[in-house]
């Protein structure tokens, strides 16, 4: 049986680190695509040369064109500008819209049967754009954000309580930005809801740190944004899809009435398998949680309106 094929567009920090996780897990052959000449080829070859050491029989190539990406099972889009300190993800909208539009248009021509996973920010809007440009059915386009935001919250809770990260389950929904919605009632440590295990002030501090988690890394790095955790999250989604795991994770998926929302991509609990997004899980949310989710949805919708203006200008 042929090994699955995953194309990663954008061989920068996140793209190349994603390739690293996928290759180490022997999940798929990998094609790295970037506009910088030689860079994806160089990183691809370097990673390929690591395979004998770790004992992984996958093929990795780099390219500046899309021919080698032909018939990919999954296409990941990480191409675009990362944030600079003090910048919000929204400020990347115009520059990254142009990039994502170009790369999605090219990638779909070579891999019409692929599932597209988007990482470029502002995430929910770029996922919507990829769906529009590719013309794919909604279940074959999904954005990565919720696994990352939830993992950040899990890490903070594990540190606070001194328990294994494996015991901590957190669910962060909503748009990937400061309006994201960490669900403290649904998040738990070995089955005990977070709001029963942590005092309110500590819980509030963890929620706030989670919301600003990306910005915390950006201000520490000074150049570029987080890439280890975002790429690990991408690798988890790839594994869930290729192994048809029916894994439930928060991700940016097309909402069609769930949570009273319709017609755009937004962070919700999704079930991922070989066909892509198999279903959206609806939690029982209270009034306060629903209000926070609606507020976040309005933010994403406002950005989609801005995107439509940009697309109209681009023609």
CB of 226 to ligand APR, least distance (A): 7
Per residue in 253-275, is it b (16+ CB within 10 Å) or e — as a string?
bbbeebbebeebbbbbbbbbbee
Interaction between residue 303 and ligand APR (CB under 6 A): no
Q: Which residues pair with 249 in a beta bridge?
A: 270
Q: How many residues bind ligand APR (CB under 6 A)?
A: 29
Select from 74, 76, 115, 119 the one that contacts ligand APR (CB under 6 A).
119
Interaction between residue 225 and ligand APR (CB under 6 A): yes
CB of 17 to ligand APR, least distance (A): 8
Select from 131, 227, 264, 265 the one that contacts ligand APR (CB under 6 A).
227
In the chain, count of helices (H) and strands (E)?
Answer: 10, 12
Select from 5, 7, 8, 14 the one that contacts ligand APR (CB under 6 A).
14
Cα 264 from chain centroid?
16
> Measured from the CB atom, is 78 or 303 closer to ligand APR?
78
First to last CA, the chain: 43
Annotated catalytic residue within 20, 176, 186, 299: 176
111: its two tokens: 């891999």
Interaction between residue 102 and ligand APR (CB under 6 A): yes
Interaction between residue 18 and ligand APR (CB under 6 A): no
305: its two tokens: 């309106």
Draw the binding track, 33-72, toward ligand APR (x: CB under 6 A; -: no contact).
Answer: xxxx------------------------------------
Interaction between residue 213 and ligand APR (CB under 6 A): no
Interaction between residue 254 and ligand APR (CB under 6 A): no
Interaction between residue 80 and ligand APR (CB under 6 A): yes
Secondary structure class of 66 (helix, strand, coil): coil
289: its two tokens: 């949680």
CB of 97 to ligand APR, least distance (A): 11
Secondary structure class of 41 (helix, strand, coil): helix
> Measured from the CB atom, is 36 or 314 closer to ligand APR?
36
CB of 100 to ligand APR, least distance (A): 8
Smallest CA-to-CA distance from 233 within 301, 298, 158, 172 is with: 172
Task: Give the Cα separation of 165 and 169 in Å (integer).
Answer: 8
CB of 204 to ligand APR, least distance (A): 26
Task: Give the Cα separation of 137 and 135 in Å (integer).
Answer: 7
Judge whether 270 and 279 are in contact, CB under 8 Å: yes
> Measured from the CB atom, is 11 or 125 closer to ligand APR?
11
191: its two tokens: 């089955």
Exposed, middle or buried, 14 (CB in 10 Å: 0-12/13-18/19+)?
buried
Task: Give the Cα separation of 115 and 145 in Å (integer).
Answer: 16
Active-site residue 169, yes or no? Answer: no
Contacts with ligand APR by CB under 6 A lie at 9-15, 33-36, 78-83, 92, 96, 99, 102-103, 119-121, 224-225, 227, 230
Q: Which residues are catalytic?
A: 176
């Amino acid at each position: 049986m042929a090994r699955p094929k995953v194309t990663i567009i954008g061989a920068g920090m996140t793209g190349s680190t994603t390739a690293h996780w996928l290759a180490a897990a022997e999940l798929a052959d990998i094609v790295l695509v970037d506009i910088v000449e030689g860079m994806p080829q160089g990183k691809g070859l370097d990673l390929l040369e690591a395979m004998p050491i770790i004992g992984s029989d996958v093929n990795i190539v780099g390219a500046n064109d899309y021919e080698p990406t032909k018939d990919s099972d999954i296409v990941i889009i990480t191409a675009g500008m990362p944030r600079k300190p003090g910048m919000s993800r929204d400020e990347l909208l115009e520059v990254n819209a142009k990039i994502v539009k170009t790369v999605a248009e090219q990638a779909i021509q070579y891999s019409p049967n692929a599932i597209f996973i988007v990482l470029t920010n502002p995430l929910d809007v770029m996922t919507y754009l990829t769906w529009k440009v590719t013309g794919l059915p909604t279940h074959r386009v999904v954005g990565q954000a919720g696994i990352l935001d939830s993992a950040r919250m899990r890490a903070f809770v594990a540190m606070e309580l001194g328990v294994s990260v494996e015991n901590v389950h957190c669910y962060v929904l909503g748009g990937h930005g400061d309006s994201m919605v960490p669900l403290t009632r649904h998040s738990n440590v070995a089955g005990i809801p977070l709001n029963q295990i942590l005092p309110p002030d500590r819980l509030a501090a963890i929620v706030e740190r989670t919301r600003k988690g990306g910005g915390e890394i950006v201000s520490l790095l000074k150049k570029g944004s987080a890439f280890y955790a975002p790429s690990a999250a991408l690798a988890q989604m790839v594994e869930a899809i290729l192994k048809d795991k029916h894994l439930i994770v928060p991700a940016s998926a097309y909402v069609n009435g769930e949570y009273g929302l319709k017609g755009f991509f937004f962070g919700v609990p999704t079930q991922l398998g070989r066909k892509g997004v198999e279903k959206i899980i609806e939690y029982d949310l209270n009034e306060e949680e629903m209000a926070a989710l609606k507020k976040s949805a309005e933010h994403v919708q406002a950005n989609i309106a801005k995107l439509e203006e940009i697309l109209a200008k681009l023609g």
